Chain A
């Protein structure tokens, strides 16, 4: 495939995307490469908060060497199109952890696309994605886990939960497994729900106004995504941006 060809919705990875918006910034910048050397531990984060109407695409190619680990936190909230992709290759006794939140409203299209390859034996990965979508927004998580033939004892999980604030919003969750080894543990779960009406009435019956009640429930839904960000300043920045976005959504 010509890397410079503009993607279409026929491309699997772009199926739910806003290809018109991406045309305005095509070709997108070269991917950011992250190489974690053997035995090292790396921490990265991305706050994707592009201006209204803008398109932003962030591609990461991450290689995690034997015995290394990479933790990535992503908050995807800005732009008409906000797309973050990860191509990850994990070595032996290595770990990749992705914690992400997608918060969208209006006509935003926000995506997290992952392709995680367990290339060698005894590696692990975890992906936790929480999405909250209102208006006519579309939020998508497409995640494939590929386990190579000799990557025995791979242990991988994907946990994807989406909350829809309006009937006009869309959540896509597509966890995929491609496994060529036989001694492997891969767990994935995906749910799409709405705010708990019984909880909302209980909160209202105690006097809480609807906006406060919704914000509190939504905060608890995404709580935990940024809990293990090691740098306090980074964690606070991500949490503050998430709360500001939530308050704008309700």
Chain B
């Protein structure tokens, strides 16, 4: 589904990704772990197409389509969802308005029928209930006044409504207490653990992986994948630290 080959990227002319290669098949959940500054967030933003993240070499395709050649909104329409470590606040735009415009933009781009107001509200209610988010929250401006946990829950509701093929979740576990972590983990499983979907979890800690069990774990260091393994690798990292595992 996602194929990244020898990806190089710079931020403000500084090389961050230095030949990263990774492949995800449908039905798989991969976790990328790594020390601070390894390039974890850069990988997420580069795949999402954030301005300022410049690809200087390599390829990335989503179901065979060249991801790097698409505008950010086209990547979303192609099935990519990027979960933000720090979800952005948008005063004056309600979550419902934001999500309906987003979903219908995607549907227009794919030549599908747009949802009308009633259909959209039903979908939003269903997904909000799944994540235990009060519908009233969705009437409020995007992320404005939300706690850290509420922002991440709202992101998962967005993911549920937009129903992507591939989710890249950047430090979705940061700022969550244990209860919120459980809810978010259950949400990821309910929405994304399907034979035709895949997830790339980017995380610093192993604790989210207690709730979302990865099929593969990769260690990112110095802009490249330096080690790959199964779920047990995350536990090893937690126990021994990155330096030990990377050196071994």
How many chain B residues touch A (Cβ–Cβ < 8 Å)?
Answer: 33
Residues B90 and A207 in contact, CB atoms below 8 Å apart: no
Binary interface profile of A, 55-85, with partner B (CB < 8 Å = 1, else 0)? Answer: 0000000000000000000000000000000
Is A203 in the interface zone, CB < 8 Å from B?
yes
Residues A197 and B51 in contact, CB atoms below 8 Å apart: yes
Least Cβ–Cβ distance between A158 and chain B, in angstroms: 21
Collect the chain B residues with CB atoms within 8 Å of residue A204's CB.
49, 71-73, 76
Collect the chain A residues with CB atoms within 8 Å of residue B48's CB.
201, 205
Question: Which listed residue, B73, B88, B102, touches A210 by the CB 8 Å rule?
Answer: B73
Collect the chain B residues with CB atoms within 8 Å of residue A209's CB.
73, 105, 108-109
Known: A197-B51, A204-B73, A207-B106. A217 touches B99 (CB 8 A): no
Least Cβ–Cβ distance between A112 and chain B, in angstroms: 22
Residues A202 and B158 in contact, CB atoms below 8 Å apart: no
Residues A208 and B91 in contact, CB atoms below 8 Å apart: no
For the complex, give the distance between the alpha carbons of A204 and B101 in Å. 11
Question: Which chain B residues (104-134) contact chain A, with CB distance < 8 Å?
Answer: 105-106, 108-109
Known: A201-B51, A212-B105, A217-B93. A207 touches B88 (CB 8 A): no
Collect the chain A residues with CB atoms within 8 Å of residue B98's CB.
203, 206, 208, 216
25 example contacts (A-B, Cβ-Cβ < 8 A) are as follows A196-B88, A196-B90, A199-B90, A201-B50, A201-B72, A202-B84, A202-B90, A203-B73, A203-B101, A204-B76, A205-B50, A205-B72, A205-B73, A206-B158, A206-B162, A207-B76, A208-B73, A208-B105, A209-B73, A209-B105, A212-B101, A213-B73, A219-B92, A220-B92, A220-B93
